[in-house]
Amino acid sequence: MDAVTPDAARILAAAKTKPSREEAEAAVRTLISWAGDDPSREGLLDTPKRVVKAYEEWFSGYDADPLKALGKTFEDVQGYDDMVMLTNIDVESHCEHHLAPIMGVAHVAYLPSKAVVGISKIARVVEIFSKRMQTQETMTAQIADALTDAMEPRGVAVLVDAKHQCMTTRGVHHPNVSTITTTFTGEFRNDRDLKDRFMRLVERA
C-alpha cells in the first residue's frame, strides 16, 4: 500500500467534512448579503450556483494527486542526461490569505538520472498545485518536491513569476509588481554554472 503524504492526508481529512453544495451556495448568499446586496434580486439569483461551480474549477487541484500524474516514466532515453526544461507554464492560483487570484507563469527544469517523464505531466503538476489555495512560496517548493519524489532526478529548478490580485486590487494597490520565487535542488543548487544557464533560459523564454 502506498504511503500517504502529510499533504494528501490533510486533503483527505478535509474532504470527509466537506459541506454539501447546498450549504456552499447558502454561504455565497450570506456573503452577498454581507456585501450589501440582495441575493434574491434577479441578477443575483443564480450567482451562488455559478460561484460554487467556479470554485470546483478554481480548486480542482484538491481532487488530483500530483504523484499519480507523474507516475509513468520512460527509461529509454538513449543516454540523455542534460536539462529538460519547460517554460511559460500558465499559473492560475488563489492567495490563501484573501482568495484573490494569482496569475503568472512557471519555468521548470530537471536533470534526469534514470528516466524522463512526459512533458505534459510536468505542466499538469503545476496546474494541480496552482489550483489550490496557495502561497506562491509553498507552491514553488511543492512542484520541486513532487518531481523529486516521482523521478529522483539529479536536480530540479523551479521559478514562478506571478502577480497577486490581493496586492493589485486591494491593500497597497500596486498593479505592476511581480513576485518571483525559486527552488533549486541537487545539482542546480550546487552548480553555479548550471543554475545560471537555467536563469538565462528563463530570461529568453
DSSP state of 82: S
Shortest CA distance to 21 belongs to which of 48, 58, 60?
Answer: 48
Active-site residues: which are they?
Answer: 95-98, 136, 164, 166
Write out the three cell numbers for 87. 517554460
DSSP-H helix ranges across 59-191: 66-69, 119-130, 136-151, 165-168, 186-190
Angle of helix 21-35 relative to helix 47-58, nearest 10 degrees, comes to: 110
